[in-house]
Amino acid sequence: MQAAKKDKREEHVAVCVVQRRDDASCANDRHSFLLTKRPDQGLLAGLWEFPSVAVDAEASEATRQVALDTLLHETLNLQKALSHWRVVHRQAVGSTVHVFSHIRMTLHVEHMLVEGSSNVCAAEGEKLGTSSTMWVEYAALVDGTHKLTGAPSKAFDLVVNKASKTKKNTSATKENTITSFFKPVSS
């Protein structure tokens, strides 16, 4: 007789997809994304993901945002590094579920677009704050050395799909390039 399957443990995680848009004085109007490296031991050890933090299932959007702010500024030591950037856009984009063999994880995803000045422009792979955080350009995430899989890929897809839908709802006369999908819609 086969043993009954254990129910998967429920987890809720707030995820912040931080996108950096360099100002006009930087080359090619690049768009990079902040990745953090998971601890060297435990679930998904050593893999790269977007900044994320465990939250209660009942946590409001505001509570999740405070938890992410604490993670970005205190835990990842990014207070000084991010002080050179201004937040252009910050918005919850939705939730998605990722199922592991023993965990059912709900990702509550937000998108934060930051913009910086030319004196803090950096190349792809720039380490920031700690050796476990870095900026990675868009192309590297979709087809390059930092291609995302699993839960981080689902979070990224939510942001990209939200940007694509926003783009389709705006004027059809705008340039149709991949980077234009990530530009915030003017009010």
What is the structure's pLDDT at 180? Answer: 47
Task: Give yes or no for a contact between 16 and 68, defined as CB atoms under 8 angstroms apart.
Answer: yes
CB contact set of 48 (below 8 Å; sequence gap of 6+): 35, 36, 37, 38, 136, 146, 148, 152
Per-residue pLDDT of the chain (187 residues; tens, 9 = 90+): 666 677 888 999 999 999 988 765 454 456 889 998 887 877 777 888 999 999 999 999 999 999 999 988 876 666 666 667 788 899 999 999 998 888 898 999 999 998 875 444 444 445 555 568 888 888 888 877 777 888 999 999 999 888 767 655 554 444 444 444 445 555 4
Rounded CA gap, 103 and 92, in Å? Answer: 23
Query: 38 is written with which tokens?
Result: 């998971």
Query: 35 is written with which tokens?
Result: 């990745």
Rounded CA gap, 87 and 4, in Å? Answer: 49
What is the structure's pLDDT at 107? Answer: 94
Task: Give yes or no for a contact between 79 and 182, defined as CB atoms under 8 angstroms apart.
Answer: no
Class level of CATH domain 9-182? alpha beta
Rounded CA gap, 102 and 10, in Å? Answer: 9
CB contact set of 89 (below 8 Å; sequence gap of 6+): 111, 112, 113, 184
